[in-house]
A and B are shown apart, each in its own frame.
Chain A
Amino acid sequence: MELSLRLDQTLVDRARSAAESIADDVWRHIEAHTTDSVERTALRLLGVVGVNEIDVPLVNVVVEQGRDSLASGIIAPFVAVMMDSGMSAQQVAEGIATGTLTLAPVAAERREGVESHAAEIAAGGVARIDAARRRREELVATLSDPVKPWLYVIVATGNIHEDVAQAKAAARAGADVVAVIRTTAQSLLDYVPYGLTTEGFGGTYATQENFRYMRDGLDEVGEELGRYIRLCNYASGLCMPEIAAMGSLERLDMMLNDSMYGIIFRNINMERTFVDQYLARMLNARAGIIINTGEDNYLTTADAFEKGYTVVSSDFINEEFAERAGLEQWQMGLGHAFEIDPSIPDQVVYQIADALLVRQLFPEASPKYMPPTKYMPGDIFMGHIVDAMFNFVGVFTGQETQLLGMLTEALHTPLLQDRYLSVKNAKYVFESCRSLRDEVEIRPGGIIERRANELLGKAAEQLEHVRDVGLFRALEMGEFADVSRDPGGGRGFDGVVKRAEDYFNPFYAALREGRMSGPPVGPTPAERAASRQGGR
């Protein structure tokens, strides 16, 4: 028996069909535009890395050089120079940076040759992503895959060396996924910093080197524990697709990758974000990365009890955008959260309704359940109990990934011991309540079922309204998170370029060509232990 709610199926259908139209409408915009970051991503996938003498990434230097003809895409002129000079992508980028090479528009009669050569090199870039995905499959198969809900924790020291030490400690304590939080305001940088970094505020810079270094650290501890430890980072902000590319190459397993988070919470221009998220998601789709969406955040600026339905609406929208980018259901870590004010009577009962609803609406997806944050008190003892109730709801409603709450949420990013206590809390609650959901039924017509259907009804209504006015206008009207954004405002608007007739970017096709499918499979840690015992 599965714990389940009787939901009004017509509401589910209405919601899905509205979400589909919403995404179709934005789709026309996506297909007609490119952005600075999309073009820089293409260069990264060709193999361009590094910075110039004043720390500007070479991909930024090249895109600046090619700015006048960006509407046609950076790749054709760039590859033309590679062909003429016989140099590698990296050498050409360096040449452009030092001024020895320049980009020029590609003459019409050369286009075909250049494009087919570019497509070949692009396939090579994509092959690097595939290699990372295959490596994950091997590791999961030979180590083991943790039982769900996965215990997901964050590290945020600002210093990648400390982060690695703490991530290893967390894994040893029992964490299955480690996310490295990015430094304050990285999302507003229109370039990706370079190298190993040791100075961040409330998080650590997302750089390709930091990704690799942390990946190695987690592989090491995974080997030691006989359990594959997943790594997560943030593909968000002005460099969303570039960071997604870095994560895809360096075998991250999860990435925060939301179609609207940057718009709502960082005031990044919406035209920019919608174009960027598409490529970012295609990359993650290719890499076998699970994306996480950010609906939980809505409940910090809007009230969780009143506006719980906005999470459901947005999950439907994120699902549609994810599907269009080729993500499979198991790769969709749709967000939701335990953010209702704990002083409301029956709070946990309502949370069960909200959490079960999301689980049931997206049965094949891998929802990510977020902990209480806004109402976490300075009284850490009380906070620890609220987190335990959250863990209870997570295991009871069958969540896939549980982002563990920290007793010190109101104070600081987690200390080593905070994380240890929180893992201990989750392990106790999960193990002690694991079978409960198979033992009970939800009372038909009770508080839980009524609340769930009410949220679903309001979500369907909201989605139809958003469909009628269009998503751009809806964001302007503050439909999500009670935050309103100007379609022509926000950061990064000047980096949105209307595509010309001859726009060329080989990666949109290459990323779809011959994509692998399905999640990695491996034994559970217990199965692995048993088989090793038997083998001896």
Chain B
Amino acid sequence: MEVKPYGDTRDDGVMQLSFTLPIPNSPKATDVGKQYLEKMGFHDVAVAEVRAIDPGFTFYVAYARTDVSIDPDQVKGDYLDVEEMDYYAINTFIRDDVGHKLVVVGAAIESDAHTVGIDAILNMKGFAGNYGLERYPEIDAYNLGSQIPCEQLLKTALEKQADAILVSQIVTQKNIHVQNLTKLIELLEAEGVRERFIIVVGGPRINNAFAKELGYDAGFGPRTTPVQVASFLAQEAARRQNP
């Protein structure tokens, strides 16, 4: 079934918008903003606020209606399909279905100095009342920290005979994360070891489809919890074990 934004009545299509145009706030500025929204297909445009935020820039707040609708059933994406298990179930599953301890090596790579995200997944303490992977008896987790060059991450993964590599990328300005993430995959491929590891990436601007496009096995976004990651790693390792 098609849906439209809900303002006050079903299918009224009302949306809240705000933006800035690089023009002076002259008497016609309101119309410029209004017509701009109309060009985008909005109608019943109510420009609520027009302010000069500098001689050359005008800020708008507006409400407007749209006729565009969408059918949620038609939206197909590459979502992570894992059965989420709990801490105990995961450990049992690894023991029974994988048959050896899972070794995971994680880091925030290259220029990225943010550690809180990868720590939330790996450290004992964990995140949102949810133990990190270091706590799992059936997981050996190595957290290398931040600003780790891809070469060093790979070297450690090989030394520890890791099953999985966990990468964090928080800074995304000018797509620097794409550069960094691509570098890691290219390095693994050049060394001929890509298939040896389950490779996942996480961060606030990451999703599964994006991660797959870049050649990763899975991607995790904001508010990821350690059990989600552990569930995926365990099930993926078991799948590779018994194809």
Contacts and interface: CB of A to CB of B under 8 A. Distances in A.
Interface in A164-198: 168-169, 172-173, 184-185, 188
Nearest to B111: A185
Contact of A417 (B18, B112, B171, B204): B18
Given A169-B54, A300-B116, A267 B145 contact: yes
Contact of B54 (A172, A199, A267): A172
B19 interface: yes
A184 B169 CA distance: 13
Given A374-B116, A417-B20, A168 B171 contact: no
A158 B115 contact: no
Interface residues of A, number: 26
Interface string B108-128: 000111011001000000000
B53 interface: yes
B9 interface: no
Nearest to A415: B20
Contacts of B147: 185, 188, 266-267
Contacts of B6: none
B55 to A, nearest CB: 8
B173 A202 contact: yes
B7 interface: no
Contact of A184 (B18, B57, B145, B176): B176
Contacts of B222: 378
B144 to A, nearest CB: 11
B42 interface: no
A378 B223 CA distance: 11
A412 B57 contact: no
Which secondary structure dominates chain B's binding surface? mixed
Given A417-B18, A417-B53, A410 B115 contact: no
A90 interface: no
B197 interface: no
Interface in A408-467: 410, 412-413, 415-417, 420
B59 A158 contact: no
Nearest to A412: B173
Interface residues of B, number: 24
Given A301-B115, A417-B18, A417-B19, A168 B173 contact: no
A169 B57 contact: yes
B53 A169 contact: yes
A265 interface: yes
A472 interface: no
B212 to A, nearest CB: 23
A297 to B, nearest CB: 10
A201 interface: yes
Interface in A228-283: 265-267
B47 to A, nearest CB: 15
Contacts of A158: 173-174
Interface in A361-413: 374, 378, 410, 412-413
Contacts of B57: 169, 416
Nearest to B55: A172
Nearest to A374: B116
Nearest to A267: B147
A301 B187 CA distance: 31
Q: Which of B147, B173, B222 has the most CB of A within 10 A?
A: B173
B171 A301 contact: no
Most buried by B among A267, A420, A483: A420
A202 B171 contact: yes
Given A266-B113, A300-B116, A416-B20, A201 B176 contact: yes
A201 B177 CA distance: 10
A325 B119 CA distance: 36
A184 B173 contact: yes
Contacts of A483: 115
A188 B116 CA distance: 20
Nearest to B18: A417
16 contacts: A169-B54, A172-B54, A173-B53, A173-B54, A184-B111, A184-B173, A188-B147, A201-B171, A201-B174, A266-B147, A267-B146, A301-B116, A378-B222, A416-B54, A417-B18, A417-B53
The list of the 4 closest CB pairs from A to B, nearest first, reads A169-B54, A185-B111, A202-B173, A420-B53
Interface of A: 158, 168-169, 172-173, 184-185, 188, 199, 201-202, 265-267, 300-301, 374, 378, 410, 412-413, 415-417, 420, 483
Given A184-B111, A185-B111, 11 more contacts: A158-B174, A168-B54, A169-B53, A169-B54, A172-B54, A184-B176, A201-B173, A201-B174, A202-B174, A266-B147, A416-B57
